């Protein structure tokens, strides 16, 4: 068995960015001491989820890649000897910003990045105001712990993104995430949404014969504009195996620092049992690139 120890931090962020980053650094160091080889952080982990409101001054939170945050996380990766998947607000040029995941090798070098392709625009999730859709495509990133199919949050609802990663040899699908409950939804609707969120990613695991790692924020973050009642992030970070089986599921309410052991050889065996890639009718899928078929 080729075993991989995956660590993740499900964190409650506050308005104190320095404290958020300090706790992340302490968490990464601790996970490495506990044997983690790959550490995945939640979406936009340095700050509050600022997309709850549209405010041009919040573009000041963005930074270049490489930049101050990548310098910090590269140093941590090298010091701890771990691969890190970080999630940052990237300033590419004046007026051009992305929601970008950065993959850092255990030697402290940036080995790849992924710019979020699907950008939502909903009450309390005004991401189209801040982020230009990604232009790097769907390509896995090779690291010392495997070929990582890194996507970001809203991408997790799209089977096409997961499939394209799998078709290029991704050995796992990774989703840094920031999603939670709307206060005006009933408790029943809130739970339907949370379970749909997990179910669709477990479906990606099954359909592609790959493990999935999803790391979400947790805790309440207010809406500074007062337009909404804020977001209660639902946590529930999880690791699923290649048949969609839950290997670990985090709390809906509490911070967690977890190391999960994954059998990386299992995917090949599962694909032998369920050869979905073999049986795909690639001759009949041309219309998938259309918006809608009338």
Which residues are tagged catalytic?
43, 116, 153
Among candidates 127, 123, 124, which has minimal Cα distance to 87? 127
Nearest to 241 by CA among 261, 216, 215: 261
The angle subtended at Cα 226 by Cα 22 and Cα 156, nearest 5°, is: 60
Q: How far apart are CA 135 and CA 144, in angstroms?
A: 25
The DSSP code for 185 is S
Measured CA to CA, the distance from residue 148 to residue 171 in angstroms comes to 6
For residue 278, the 8-state DSSP code is H
Q: Is 202 helix (H, G, I), strand (E, B) or coil?
A: helix
DSSP designation for 132 = P
Distance (Å, whole) CA 239 – CA 68: 30
SS3 content of the chain, % helix, strand, coil (to 5): 35, 30, 40
β-strands 83-93, 38-41 pairing = parallel
User: What whole-number distance in Å separates Cα of residue 191 and Cα of residue 180?
Assistant: 10
Cα 279 from Cα 276, distance rounded (Å): 5
Count the Cβ atoms, other than its own, within 10 Å of residue 127: 21
3-state SS assignment for residue 88: strand
Distance, in Å, from the CA atom of 47 to the CA atom of 12, rounded to the nearest integer, reads: 10
């Amino acid at each position: 068995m080729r075993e991989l120890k995956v660590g993740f931090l499900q964190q409650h962020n506050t308005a104190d960015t320095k404290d958020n980053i300090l706790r992340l650094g302490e968490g990464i160091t601790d996970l490495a001491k506990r044997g983690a080889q790959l550490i995945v952080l939640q979406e936009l982990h340095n700050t509050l989820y600022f997309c709850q409101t549209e405010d041009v001054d919040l573009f000041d939170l963005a930074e270049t890649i490489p930049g101050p945050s990548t310098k910090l996380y590269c140093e941590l990766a090298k010091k701890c000897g771990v691969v890190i998947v970080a999630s940052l607000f990237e300033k590419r040029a004046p007026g051009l910003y992305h929601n970008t995941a950065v993959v850092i090798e255990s030697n402290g070098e940036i080995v790849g990045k992924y710019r979020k392709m699907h950008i939502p625009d909903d009450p309390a999730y005004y991401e189209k105001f801040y982020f230009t859709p990604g232009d790097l495509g769907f390509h896995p990133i090779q690291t010392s712990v495997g070929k990582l199919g890194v996507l970001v949050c809203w991408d997790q609802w799209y089977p096409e993104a997961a499939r394209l990663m799998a078709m290029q040899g991704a050995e796992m699908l990774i989703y840094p995430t920031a999603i939670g409950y709307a206060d005006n939804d009933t408790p029943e609707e809130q739970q339907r949404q949370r379970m749909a969120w997990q179910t669709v990613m477990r479906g990606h695991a099954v359909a592609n014969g790959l493990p999935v790692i999803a790391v979400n924020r947790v805790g309440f973050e207010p809406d500074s504009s007062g337009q909404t009642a804020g977001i209660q992030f639902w946590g529930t970070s999880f690791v699923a195996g290649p048949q969609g089986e839950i290997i670990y599921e985090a709390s809906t309410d509490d911070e967690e620092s977890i190391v999960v052991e994954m059998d990386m050889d299992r995917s090949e065996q599962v694909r032998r049992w369920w050869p979905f890639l073999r049986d795909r009718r690639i001759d009949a899928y041309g219309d998938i690139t259309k918006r809608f078929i009338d």
